[in-house]
Amino acid sequence: MIITLNSPLDMHLHLRDDEMLKVVAPLSAKTFAGGIIMPNLVPPVTTLKALKEYKQRILDTIDDENFDPLMTLFFKNDYSYEFLKEAKEYIGAIKLYPSGITTNSQGGVSSLDIASLKETFEAMSELEIPLCVHGETNGFVMDREAEFGDVYESFATHFPKLKIIMEHITTKHSVSLLEKYDNLYATITLHHLYITLDDVAGGMLNPHLFCKPIAKRPEDKEALLKAALSAHPKVMFGSDSAPHPTHKKECCGCAAGVFTAPIALQALTQLFEEHNALDNLQAFVSDNAQRIYNYKPLEKKVTLEKISYLVPQTYSNITPMFASEELKWSVKSVL
């Protein structure tokens, strides 16, 4: 069996920087035509100078791969209309992190009060700049995303022209919000389609599946699967591939993040085939994102074949999901 995907896109991608960037960027650029690049570096990407320099470092690293890094700014509630108007041509979106809620988010938003966000949100609405959100509170870990649902509803109601992307959704409740508000969309990761909390901590602890937001209950995974496998028009693939050195995962104080970039398309194809939904994979990994972001990607054809693929144990001391396991599909060619 063979399947060809046209211009696959990863709409939530961490490429890190420095030596880590040199390892992971080519792995995404090899099989994806583009992706939304997260801005939570240290320090975060908040200026056009920093954004342009980061993009150039990415392009220098991926060499001649046919990959378009769609850059993002780290949200600040004091961006002026004039700044955002200038920034629009250089960015795919702006990413909002609640302060301290995930990796390198200490400089994020400390207050989600509508009044403090109004000026920036209104400017983004007028300029048609999408808002990507890491939607978690600092409450009990299993409830953080559900508790953030009220914030999403407030944003969607007060700013109906603002395109809001609920990043890496993990709950049945978040899926239900897609039906309530025209301006709410979502990305879904590979790992949240495969695992529940039981896979992370139900037996021996698996640190390489620990992420934020944490994997949830079986009924939540089923809701995510239903949305992805049916090619729901408001969801798209975003890996949230988040690399950390193995020694920072296999330790006390384990870093949050699942590294999936090199095996994402193989594992997604396997999953969609197992559910008799291969006809919907193209929409999930590209077509929906193109429509939601009003974006025309670079041309790239990735052909996969049903031949087993042994996932490497590590990629330069970064342990991937499914390390040393066999997937049923392999990448045959990239044109």
- Could you report the per-residue pLDDT of 201-235, keeping only the tens digit for each? 999 999 999 999 999 999 999 999 999 999 999 99
pLDDT at 49: 98
Q: Is 324 inside a domain boundary?
A: no
- Could you report the per-residue pLDDT of 68-94, keeping only the tens digit for each? 999 999 999 999 999 999 999 999 999
pTM of the model: 0.97
Tokens representing 148?
A: 């953030």
Tokens representing 97?
A: 């992190």
Distance of CA 290 to the CA centre of its chain: 15
Q: Is 326 inside a domain boundary?
A: no
Q: Is 159 inside a domain boundary?
A: yes
- Confidence tier at 179 by pLDDT (50, 70, 90): very high
Mean pLDDT along residues 120-147: 97
Residue corresponding to tokens 């960027």? 25
The three-state secondary structure class of 50 is: helix
Of 108-117, 150-159, 276-285, 292-301, the least confident: 108-117
pLDDT at 47: 98
pLDDT at 94: 98
Question: Does the pLDDT value for residue 297 go beyond 90?
Answer: yes
What CATH number corresponds to the domain at position 117? Answer: 3.20.20.140
% pLDDT > 70, the chain: 100
Q: Is 185 inside a domain boundary?
A: yes
pLDDT at 63: 86
What's the domain count of the chain?
A: 1
Mean pLDDT along residues 264-290: 98
Beta bridge partners of 37: 13
Q: Is 78 inside a domain boundary?
A: yes
Residues belonging to the active site: 240
Mean pLDDT along residues 101-114: 91
Mean pLDDT along residues 231-246: 98
Of 62-66, 163-167, 297-301, the least confident: 62-66
Distance CA 120, CA 280 (A): 36
Q: What dihedral do alpha carbons 128, 40, 71, 109 form, nearest 10°?
A: 10
Q: Is 279 inside a domain boundary?
A: no
Distance CA 59, CA 64 (A): 8
Distance CA 308, CA 286 (A): 24
> Is 211 within 8 Å of 197 (Cβ atoms)?
no
Mean pLDDT along residues 145-156: 98
Domain that holds residue 154: 11-260
Beta bridge partners of 187: 236
Question: Does the pLDDT value for residue 116 go beyond 90?
Answer: yes
Q: Is 195 inside a domain boundary?
A: yes
Q: Is 230 inside a domain boundary?
A: yes
Residue corresponding to tokens 């590590």? 314
Question: Does the pLDDT value for residue 64 go beyond 90?
Answer: no
Distance of CA 215 to the CA centre of its chain: 15
- Confidence tier at 280 by pLDDT (50, 70, 90): very high
Mean pLDDT of the chain: 97
